[in-house]
Structure 1
Amino acid sequence: MVDLTRRFDVLVIGGGNAALCAAISARRAGASVLVLEGAPKFYRGGNTRHTRNMRCAHDAATEILTGPYTEEEFWKDLLLVTGGQTDEELARFMIHESKDILNWIVEQGVRWQPSLGGTLSLGRTNSFFLGGGRAMLNALYRTAEELGVDVLYNAEVIDLKIEDGMFLSAQLKQPVGGKTEVRASTLVAAAGGFEANIEWLKEYWGEAADNFLIRGTPYNRGAILKMLLAKGVQETGDPTQCHAVAIDARAPKFDGGIITRHDSVVFGIVVNKHAERFYDEGEDIWPKRYAIWGRLVAAQPDQIAYIIFDSTVVTSFMPTLFPPIAGATIAELAGKLELDASALEKTITEFNAAVQPGTFDHTILDDCATQGIAPAKTHWARRIETAPYLAYPVRPGITFTYLGTRVNKQSRMLMKDGKPSANMFAAGEIMAGNVLGKGYAAGIGMTIGSVFGRVAGREAAKNARN
């Protein structure tokens, strides 16, 4: 049993990667730590359960990474995907710190493995967790508990007492025991974004949000974020920006995870409900572009689209939970998708006629392109002509939102007057908007969580001692 009458040095709200990195870091610095996870134990960990890898800078190849990935290359990649909408000081700090995270995370019991075939060409830039996100999460929990971190599940925080930028206590509600006040010298907020709060999403997206699918936990409803912003913490990030990918339209409303994501876009074409293409499927290397497709599909009629390809490419990407829909002819496929057959045939015929000769190589920006159609497909363009013809229906799959709390390099929250909070820190999705103004690069969410989680825990422990 956790003694809630005592005063803890550090209170961590949240139960995913960022929260656990903060808890472990604080505990290793000598602080007493309580973690409040709002979900039941089985669903602990937020979106960390669904992850596979982390993007970290490194100067040389390792046993699990095929080559160097310098800080400057990481920065250029981040600059590209965000269109410059990032806090450069915080972003460069995160990238520099990520080099040490590769080893630090192993010291906390996490294990790496080489990347699998078909995993977005990430063998050089991203480290993959042995056993996936859940195994990584279990390792962090095991280490935290061995160090003496207290953890409570089904622990819903319903209020925060904050005065003049100083955290005093949290009001906790549990299924058994009712409401309790929890006191701590410092607070680390690591409770995720508001992606599972459809009503909040609709404030910015309108009725279209009803057609969004939530890739991760149904527990990330943004309650802690809303409380902090209401109590004087400065916000950062665009509320309409998020990490959103194209996922299978047959996926569940919540918690479908990574096995519902489609990485087949570059191997075919994407059409909307009118059987019309609407964006360049070969714009750039997939890890730098896969996260734009959620927003692209969100802008289409009824928030639905279809990835169309043929039987020659079915082994070129990771399989997903749902099998592709097949047709012996384009017309038969169109019928199964409830698309206009003549419109789909016209789109594919025009696309095939526009494909120019080239040497296909999905690992580089190759010379396989179209000519004379709009939108163009600038790389990896190949004719769709070998039956059976295949398709995946896709909808926007929201991973996490970018509206969050403003922080400095110590992960300390800034108040609306610009002054640092007395004793409040943030890590993970709840502050990701500092780094991600828009766009996404594979594995960077885990980088943000690990780097700023470690910093937040260390700084919170120091603050508590003082």
Structure 2
Amino acid sequence: MIDVLVIGGGNAALCAALMAHEAGASVLLLESAPRAWRGGNSQHTRNLRCMHDEPQDVLLDAYPEEEFWQDLLKVTGGNTDEKLARLAIRASSTCRPWMRRHGVRFQPSLAGTLHLSRTNAFFMGGGRALVNAYYRSAENLGVQVRYESPVDALELQDGRFVAARIGAERIEAKACVLASGGFESNPEWMREAWGQNERGEWPADNFLIRGTRYNRGVLLKFMMASGADIIGDPSQSHCVAIDARAPLYDGGIVTRVDCVSLGVMLNREAKRFYDEGEDFWPKRYAIWGRLVAQQPGQIGYCIIDSKPIGRFMPPVFPGVQAQTLPGLARALQLDEAAFMRTLTEYNAACRVGTFDHTVLDDCHTEGLAPAKTHWALPIDKPPFYGYALRPGITFTYLGLKTDETAAVHFGGVASDNLFVAGEMMAGNVLGKGYTAGVGMSIGTAFGRIAGTEAAKAALGGRVHAALA
């Protein structure tokens, strides 16, 4: 019998598998996707948010625990478990040497991501390189990996894991780590979670999935039906406004449009609906998917002129371009009169001071609702550009309630051999909102904890001396 079974194939699962092996356990990892699509949403990531008290290679200055916590507190609106959040924050300060030992390499922030140079460590080669490094290390160490192995049920006995089932196949293990993601690629469940709005629309019908098509929430639903303690709102997710031309699945990070804070956002009626300059883009980009989801038709339009070009990471698709604002309205099929009224009012309300997109500058609007509180420049220099945006779901926040040992709970009682990591428990820390790189912080921290605890459970506490 295998010691530790890890169900899932992304960052959290791989961290768990590697840590369990280092603790002395035999490990089998089951990935539902084919080998070419292994890695879940982690293959689409590019950085890890890291606490640090002084400069560290690719990380500038300092990003202390309290600042990280306040950033998280702000985006979640307090809907977070402080104990578990601080655990993940502190773990982010010590994980990178371990990651390097398993082949992960880091690089300085690229142009267009300099806001993150102090807070986030970027993976050389992105998330796909990180996933490949972990798989290579796992296989070299003797961790067994099976692809195209979607687990559809577990055998549980009084809160303890007994076996996993893949159809008629039964796989026993002494302990198990669940890290198989949420349900964002299950359109029926997404539709149920978001429901019907006051306009009679089903918003989820217009969602795109930035990440893997394999996260259908099968085990999450099974655990809910089995009496596991659940946390999180099913309608909450890491939801970004992405290019409306993106594919339904696996568009990844390149489908994001990062110029929202440098222009204005309009809905289908050519009206603004939120402050584009509320805060720095890395702290606010993940609110825009939900904001767009609340608009008619679940679509928004980012409008800029030529002045911001070169100040943001260029998206994979070029924007719609026109030499005049009326021409841009027509090209985007927006009502020209309403469009011009909105842009004229915005331009007249701009109070231009010293523009600086690296700080919360003094360029703002007056007498306009909603206001634009920073980086407000008139949109008046042709050519003009427009990007149609749809809600892009990265991962969902509904998950299994856990504690500092990453144990799954049943009726408030922690299982002694079933653990959870990654997206399946992120809702403990992320009740809502998001800030760049924190998903990888949570997955890495709890993946490593879950793997270690699973090995302890499987080996009767007799883990490798280095982990004791």
Question: TM bucket by the smaller chain?
Answer: over 0.9
The answer on whether the counterparts of 1:65 and 1:124 sit within 8 Å (CA) in structure 2 is yes
Q: What is the letter of the counterpart of residue 257 of structure 1?
A: G
For the pair 1:414 / 2:387, whether they are aligned, the reply is no
> Partner residue of 1:192?
181
- Report the AA paired with residue 181 of structure 2: G
Per-residue CA deviations over 1:160-205 (Å, capped at 9, x if unaligned) read: 11111011001114xxxxx311000111000011000111011121
Residue by residue, what CA displacement relative to the aligned partner does 1:284-314 show, whole Å, maximum 9, x if unpaired?
A: 1111111000000000000000000001211
Q: 1:64-75 alignment to 2 at 5 Å?
A: 64-75=58-69
Tell whether 2:138 aligns with 1:149.
no
1:323 aligns with 2:318: yes
Letter of the 2:77 counterpart:
G
State the 1:240 CA deviation.
1.1
State the Cα deviation string for residues 371-390 of structure 1 (Å, max 9, x = none): 00100000010010011110
CA distance in 2, matches of 1:403, 1:437: 9
Q: How does 1:50-89 map to 2 (within 5 A)?
A: 50-89=44-83
Contact 1:277 1:375 in 2 (8 A): yes
Structure 1 residue 132: Cα displacement: 0.5
Asked if 1:18 is matched to 2:12, the reply is yes
Distance 1:365 1:228 in 2: 45
Shift of 1:328: 1.1
User: Do the aligned partners of 1:120 and 1:286 also contact (CA within 8 Å) in 2?
Assistant: no
**Residue 108 of structure 1, aligned match among 71, 78, 102:** 102
Higher deviation after alignment, 222-231 or 212-221: 222-231
Q: Give the distance between the partners of 2:123 and 2:88, measured in 1 at CA.
A: 20
Give per-residue Cα distances to partners, 1:262-288, cap 9 Å, x unaligned.
111011000000000000000011111
Residue 248 of structure 1 corresponds to 243
The alignment covers a number of residue pairs equal to 454
**Residue of structure 2 equivalent to 1:48:** 42
Matching residue's letter, 2:324: T
Q: 2:233 aligns with which of 224, 234, 238?
A: 238
Partners of 2:361 and 2:254 lie apart in 1 by: 28
Residue 223 of structure 1 corresponds to: 218
**What CA deviation, in whole Å up to 9, does each residue of 1:318-357 have, x standing for no partner?**
0111001001111111111110111111111100000002
Matching residue within 417, 424, 440 for 1:423:
417
Deviation at 1:422, TM superposition (A): 2.4
- Alignment match, 2:31: 37
Answering whether residue 159 of structure 2 is matched by residue 159 of structure 1, we say no
SS at match of 2:416: strand
CA contact (8 A) 2:159 2:415 kept: yes
**Contact preservation (8 Å) 1:108, 1:143:** yes
Structure 2 distance, partners of 1:330, 1:285, is 27
Higher mean alpha-carbon deviation, 223-232 vs 436-445, is at: 223-232
Counterparts of residues 92-131 of structure 1 (less than 5 Å)? 92-119=86-113, 121-131=115-125
For the 8 Å contact 1:120–1:287, the answer to whether it is kept is: no
After TM superposition, the structure 1 = structure 2 runs for residues 439-450 of structure 1, keeping only pairs within 5 Å, are 439-450=433-444
CA RMSD of aligned residues (A): 0.8
**Distance of 1:40 and 1:357 partners within structure 2:** 53
Distance (Å, rounded) in 2 between the aligned partners of 1:279 and 1:155: 44
- Alignment partners' CA distance in 2, 1:443 and 1:172: 33
How far apart, CA to CA, are the structure 2 residues paired with 1:132 and 1:22? Answer: 20
Whether the 8 Å CA contact 2:177–2:451 is kept in 1: the answer is yes
Q: Give the SS at the match of 2:93.
A: helix
Q: How does 1:273-288 map to 2 (within 5 A)?
A: 273-288=268-283
Q: Contact 1:243–1:400 (CA<8 Å) still a contact in 2? A: yes
Aligned residue runs from structure 1 range 445-456, under 5 A: 445-456=439-450
Alpha-carbon contact 2:15-2:444 (below 8 Å) kept:
yes
Asked whether the equivalents of residues 154 and 164 of structure 2 are also in contact (C-alpha less than 8 Å), the reply is: yes
User: What is the percent sequence identity of the aligned residues?
Assistant: 59
Q: Tell me which residue corresponds to 1:379.
A: 374
Secondary structure in structure 2 of the residue aligned to 1:312 = coil
AA in 2 matched with 1:408: D
From 410, 421, 432, give the equivalent of 1:438.
Answer: 432
Matched residue type, 2:124: L
Q: 2:18 & 2:193 partners in 1: Cα distance?
A: 36
**Are 1:307 and 2:302 matched, yes or no?**
yes
Structure 1 residue 88 displacement after superposition: 0.7
Shift of 1:363: 1.4
Task: Give the alignment partner of residue 396 of structure 1, picking from 391, 399, 421.
Answer: 391
1:28-65 residue CA offsets vs partner (Å, 9 max, x unmatched) = 00000000000000000000110000001011112211
- Work out the CA distance in 2 between the residues paired with 1:33 and 1:136: 20
TM-score between both structures, scaled by the size of structure 2: 0.96
Secondary structure of the structure 1 residue equivalent to 2:364: coil
Indicate the SS of the match to 1:247.
Answer: strand
Shift of 1:120: 6.0
How far is 1:218 from its partner? Answer: 0.5
CA distance in 2, matches of 1:159, 1:267: 48
Provide the C-alpha distance between the structure 2 equivalents of 1:369 and 1:103, rounded to a whole number of angstroms.
Answer: 43
**8 Å Cα contact 2:258/2:315 also seen in 1:** no
Provide the C-alpha distance between the structure 1 equivalents of 2:87 and 2:45, rounded to a whole number of angstroms: 23
1:313 aligns to what SS in structure 2? coil
User: Is 1:347 equivalent to 2:342 in the alignment?
Assistant: yes
Q: Report the 3-state secondary structure (helix = DSSP H, G, I; strand = E; otherwise coil) of the residue aligned with 1:156.
A: coil
